[in-house]
Amino acid sequence: MSNNDNLKLRKDSQKKATKSLAVSTIFMIIGLILSKGSGFLREVLISRKFDTTYCDAITVGFQFPDFFFALLVGGSIQSAITPTLSRSIENHTSDKVWKGVNVFITLMSVCLLIVVILGEVFSNVIYEVFNQGDDPEMIRLGANLARTLYFQIFFMMLAALCIGILNAYKKFGSTAFGPTIYNVCVLLSIGIFGASNEKALYMTGFGIMASALIYFLFQLYMGRKEVRHFRPSLNIKNPEFRKLFRIAVPVLISASIVQLNMVILKSFATRFDTGSVFALRNAETLWQLPYGIFAVGIGTVMLPSLAEHFAAKRFQEASKLLSSSIKNALFLVLPCTGIFLVLRLDVVKAAFKWSESYSDDRAKLAAIFLVGYCSAIITQSVIFIINQAFYAIGQTRFPLFAGIISMIVNFMSCYVLVELGCGPISLSVAYSLACLVRLILLALVYCRNKKLAPRRLRPFIVKSVICFLIMIGGLYLINLIPYAPDRKIFQLVWLMVRAVFGFGIYFAIAFVLKMEELKTVSDRYLSRIFKRRKAKA
């Protein structure tokens, strides 16, 4: 075979890989939109079904189940098992690596069951120790609610296991819609059982636990062919397990840092007015929508492919993939950030104010928190993708170090800003500052390896800033129009009109500046969606 034939085959292979990556990203983004949308509806429904005290109790009740899940499950499977299996598939050593994965999963399951049992027994003690000075009744309700949620962690772990394995085999279509099914079941639980009394609170918790079981069963069915490789084992002397364990432990601890940061913020939020904890959660829900849809979707699809490129020593392709992932994610989250920044109060009211129980004061407080979070949307998007890049090449220790530093910065910033009397915005500003420090540390260390470092980011950043600033100016101008509708439907339409106007400006300037990312979004993603629709028609 001639060199020209080899070159042609390589180009065809690259085109197929790019097409497959684009289709997978579409599936993942659509799934995340549905998941985040249904998760957002969950927050709205909670605010309608429960009064302020019970809303705060729900927020507190999820605090430690979410923390234990993140510590023992959330990061390890997605960020350790997925790239490890992906590299083994590329190197044709999956049978050997699966033996180590079997031990890791079995050991994690045993540890998690022990944690669940301890949580059930000592729930009240844990919540009293870590929430000293808070409303005792709210802490009691939160601790008892947590007892209905601890076993949810085990089912979520099993579901995450299936998702991690499927992602390694690039079966993204099989993992994209599971979270939506879970959220729909949770919505049904809140809708059926939700009310401002203790019994209803606990019944809602049991419904959420049942939702997690349904979620696991769905993912098990979708991954039945890939999961068949699993065999329970506690052979901790297995060399592949030891390799995986060394990679996974820093990831396990890193994953807990996200929850620890949320615990820090919520502990400081209790120093402000009643309802501050839930308002903070509302703001978190909003800023995590664009981050959780675009950055997480793009980064999740990137992970196994980047791991394969690194295993095959295709460093140029790895750098190119990382560069495009960062730029595509930022290109999509930036206009969302501008809308949240300028139209913050309207966004909060449109999202959460569906009844008089959600007061204007609570909306204003959530809007204040949202302003402080705006820069975190951008920085956290890049952090997620760079973390995925570290995990893809098997380096997990430095992301842990950067995460610990950011947690310290978060706590110190919260303390200083609150003591200075900067008000509620102190919390979200402190978190954004911590994210910025973490991003700088990660970028400096990853970019030391010139072969793997992302390229041509500077021209993209300059053009993006221009698009963003002009969009902000346009939004401020249209916001000067003295129109404040009273009816909910008109509020939603008016917000949508302004949001579409903002996106229009952003994409128009990107077109004028000839940004490659606009063409990528149009050709690689949107055109494929419309082609699929036409094909179905």
**Is it the case that residue 293 has pLDDT exceeding 50?**
yes
Q: Let me know: does 28 contact 329? Beta carbons within 8 Å.
A: no
Q: Taking the CA of residue 527 as centre, how many other CA atoms within 13 Å lie in the half-sphere pointing to its CB? A: 9
**Would you state the pLDDT for residue 214?**
92
Q: Which residues contact 24 (CB under 8 A, 6 or more apart)?
A: 170, 172, 173, 301
SS (H, E, C) 121-181: HHHHHHHHHHCCCCCHHHHHHHHHHHHCCHHHHHHHHHHHHHHHHHHHCCCHHHCCCHHHH
**Is it the case that residue 300 has pLDDT exceeding 70?**
yes
SS (H, E, C) 477-499: HHCCCCCCCCCHHHHHHHHHHHH
> Mean pLDDT over all residues of the chain?
83
Averaged pLDDT for residues 156-183 = 80
**Would you state the pLDDT for residue 78?**
65
**Would you state the pLDDT for residue 371?**
93
Domain-wise residue ranges, the chain: 19-455, 456-537
**Is it the case that residue 53 has pLDDT exceeding 60?**
yes
**Would you state the pLDDT for residue 10?**
46
Averaged pLDDT for residues 408-437 = 92
Token pair 């098990």 is at which residue?
220
**Is it the case that residue 17 has pLDDT exceeding 80?**
no
User: Taking Cα atoms as reference points, which of 442, 439, 424, 396 lies closest to residue 291?
Assistant: 439
Model confidence pLDDT, tens digit, residues 96-130: 888 888 888 888 888 888 888 888 888 888 887 77
**Would you state the pLDDT for residue 533?**
46
Comparing 478 with 179, which gets the higher pLDDT? 478
Q: Where are the alpha helices (DSSP H) in 296-352?
A: 296-311, 315-342, 344-352
Q: Is residue 512 very low, low, confident or very high in pLDDT (cuts 50, 70, 90)?
A: very high
* 474: number of Cβ within 10 Å: 20
Averaged pLDDT for residues 261-273 = 82
How far apart are alpha carbons 340 and 333 in whole angstroms? 11
Q: Which pTM value belongs to this model? A: 0.78
**Would you state the pLDDT for residue 141?**
85
Averaged pLDDT for residues 301-319 = 87
Question: Would you state the structure tokens that stand for residue 249, as one six-digit string?
Answer: 């432990």
Q: How far apart are the first and last CA of the chain?
A: 43
User: Taking Cα atoms as reference points, which of 468, 429, 472 lies closest to residue 343?
Assistant: 472
User: Taking Cα atoms as reference points, which of 152, 190, 158, 183 lies closest to residue 65?
Assistant: 152
Comparing 78 with 351, which gets the higher pLDDT? 351
Ramachandran class of 170: left when φ > 0, alpha when ψ lies in -120 to 50, beta otherwise = left
Comparing 7-16, 181-190, 265-274, which segment has the lowest mean pLDDT? 7-16
**Is it the case that residue 75 has pLDDT exceeding 60?**
no
Q: What percent of the chain has pLDDT over 90?
A: 26
**Would you state the pLDDT for residue 140?**
86
Averaged pLDDT for residues 145-150 = 88
**Is it the case that residue 527 has pLDDT exceeding 70?**
no
**Would you state the pLDDT for residue 534?**
46
**Is it the case that residue 241 has pLDDT exceeding 50?**
yes
**Is it the case that residue 529 has pLDDT exceeding 60?**
no
